Amino acid sequence: MKPHFVNEDFDPMVDNPENYRLGIFYFNRKDKREIVSKRNRLLGWTVNFARPYAYWWTIGIVAVTIFALVMAFR
């Protein structure tokens, strides 16, 4: 029995290996979503680096992580 949170829908854009740069960075100009599920849906989400706001998402996540580390070891 599969968990109810598993997305069983096949997403051809996400599952296509040609839409990945260096094998890990999702880059697809035809996909209008900024945040997409990973190939293995149980591993979470990734950003579409073909979208301009993806870089802001990445910078924000890195900034929050650095801030949390600085505050933890202060």
pLDDT tens digits, residue range 52-70? Answer: 899 998 999 999 999 999 9
Q: What is the pLDDT of residue 4?
A: 45
Distance from C-alpha of 39 to C-alpha of 45, rounded to nearest angstrom: 9
Q: In the chain, what is the straight-line distance between the N-terminal and C-terminal CA atoms, in Å?
A: 47
Domain extents in the chain: 12-72
Which residues in the chain land under pLDDT 50? Answer: 1-6
pTM score, whole prediction: 0.69
